[in-house]
């Protein structure tokens, strides 16, 4: 079968013929229908992911949607979404039975893949980890990216009173406006923190942060007393210089979020809720299907930014 293999840390991925995985206790064999490509795949490939992963060479891919071929638990033909640290970018993959999430009937396979890691990382930090209360003001850092776009929509759907989108590019700001953000702030502004305070004069209750680094440091003073940050990604830097006093004085609450760290039942519930929102037309995601054989080119494109469309590999 064909699979996308990362031969060694930092090397470009290759599409290769590899043996099919063997049946194993507690694991299903799943035939690939669609697999979303994510920044985390590149981080794992480059050897800079924060959780342990198998040694290279390895089959890449943290998530995929497929059809069960063999399992002691799931009926053959059942469509499922799978999340594991590696191994999903293959025509057939092995997946833990108890980690599979059902894909609702009628949901297109590529969309079902797109709403996985990227969708959940936009949805759960607002609705679950961020515990949005209707009427609150939400700021989305990195609003032009896929995660940020879902976060804007999750906040609006959850009843946010005001959503401010912060993005680096004009295209990202334009996408945020189309999705319904009440105000947009360019991160290239001389002082994006001041611009955020002007856009949210009563203060921000919740920051959904896909950037970290300088943008988050600049935006923290815009939080209200008791405000929350959900830390989702670090596209702008692995470290941030945060001034200590205002964190204490403002009773600021910084919460980490990772799809790899959430309980399976919570992931499954959020996936079902997000799938329903997509089916109902309440959440939109642009999806671009790429043949599995073109994965190396898609990988290079993901490295330079998605331009707003989720790249999904299809066999
Ligand atoms: N915690 C989790 O479970 C989880 C899950 C999924 C993703 N993530 C993380 O979330 C982040 C976003 O993922 P994504 O799928 O949305 O990626 P994406 O679609 O590729 O978007 C990345 C966004 O980051 C922006 N960006 C990149 N470097 C920047 C910088 N130096 N300053 C400001 N903006 C910058 C880009 O802005 P432009 O549009 O202007 O280029 C783009 O909008 C990534 O760090 C990813 O690893 C975390």
Instruction: Say if residue 189's pLDDT is above 90.
Output: no
For residue 125, being part of any structural domain is answered with no
Strands 309-314 and 286-291 turn out to be parallel
CA distances from 34 to 47, 270, 287 (A): 24, 20, 11
Residue nearest to atom 46 of ligand 1 (CA): 233
At residue 10, the pLDDT reads: 86
CB of 33 closer than 6 angstroms to any ligand 1 atom: no
Average pLDDT, the chain: 97
Find tokens 């003001």 and name the residue.
137
- Of all atoms in ligand 1, which is nearest to the CA of residue 187? 33
pLDDT band at 307, cuts 50/70/90?
A: confident
In a shared domain, residues 34 and 57:
yes
In a shared domain, residues 88 and 192:
no
CB of 164 closer than 6 angstroms to any ligand 1 atom: no
Over 187-203, what HEC string results?
CCCCCHHHHHHHHCCCC
User: Number of folded domains in the chain?
Assistant: 2
In a shared domain, residues 247 and 171:
yes
Mutate to test the pocket of ligand 1, among 46, 121, 237 (most ligand atoms within 8 A of CB): 121
When mean pLDDT is compared across 44-48, 227-231, 278-282, the lowest value belongs to 44-48
- Domain with 184 in it: 130-256
pLDDT band at 9, cuts 50/70/90?
A: confident
At residue 52, the pLDDT reads: 87
38-50 average pLDDT score: 94
In a shared domain, residues 9 and 66:
yes
- Of all atoms in ligand 1, which is nearest to the CA of residue 144? 43
Mutate to test the pocket of ligand 1, among 39, 124, 166, 309 (most ligand atoms within 8 A of CB): 39
At residue 115, the pLDDT reads: 98
């Amino acid at each position: 079968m064909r699979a996308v293999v990362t031969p060694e840390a930092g090397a470009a991925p290759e599409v290769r013929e590899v043996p099919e995985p063997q049946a194993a206790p507690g694991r299903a064999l799943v035939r690939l229908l669609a697999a979303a490509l994510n920044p985390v795949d590149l981080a794992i490939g480059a050897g800079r992911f924060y959780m342990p992963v198998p040694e290279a060479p390895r089959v890449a891919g943290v998530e995929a949607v497929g059809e069960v071929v063999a399992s002691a638990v799931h009926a053959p033909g059942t469509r499922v979404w799978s999340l594991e640290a590696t191994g999903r970018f293959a025509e057939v993959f092995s997946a833990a039975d108890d980690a599979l999430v059902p894909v609702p009937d009628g949901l297109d396979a590529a969309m079902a893949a797109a709403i996985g890691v990227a969708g959940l990382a936009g949805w759960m930090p607002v609705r679950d980890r961020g515990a949005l209360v209707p009427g609150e003001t939400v700021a989305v850092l990195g609003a032009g990216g896929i995660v940020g776009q879902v976060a804007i929509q999750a906040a609006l759907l959850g009843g946010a009173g005001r959503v401010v989108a912060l993005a680096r590019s004009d295209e990202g700001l334009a996408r945020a406006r189309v999705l319904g953000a009440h105000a947009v702030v360019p991160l290239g502004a001389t002082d994006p923190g001041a611009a955020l305070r002007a856009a949210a004069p009563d203060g921000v209750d919740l920051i959904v942060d896909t950037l970290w680094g300088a943008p988050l440091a600049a935006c923290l003073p815009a939080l209200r007393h008791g405000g929350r940050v959900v830390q989702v990604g670090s596209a702008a830097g692995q470290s941030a210089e945060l001034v200590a006093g205002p964190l204490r004085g403002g009773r600021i609450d910084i919460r980490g979020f990772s799809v790899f760290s959430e309980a399976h039942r919570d992931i499954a519930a959020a996936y079902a809720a997000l799938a329903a929102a997509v089916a109902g037309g309440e959440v939109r995601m642009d999806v671009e299907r790429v043949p599995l054989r073109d994965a190396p080119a898609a990988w290079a494109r993901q490295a330079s930014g998605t331009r707003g469309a989720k790249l999904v590999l299809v066999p």
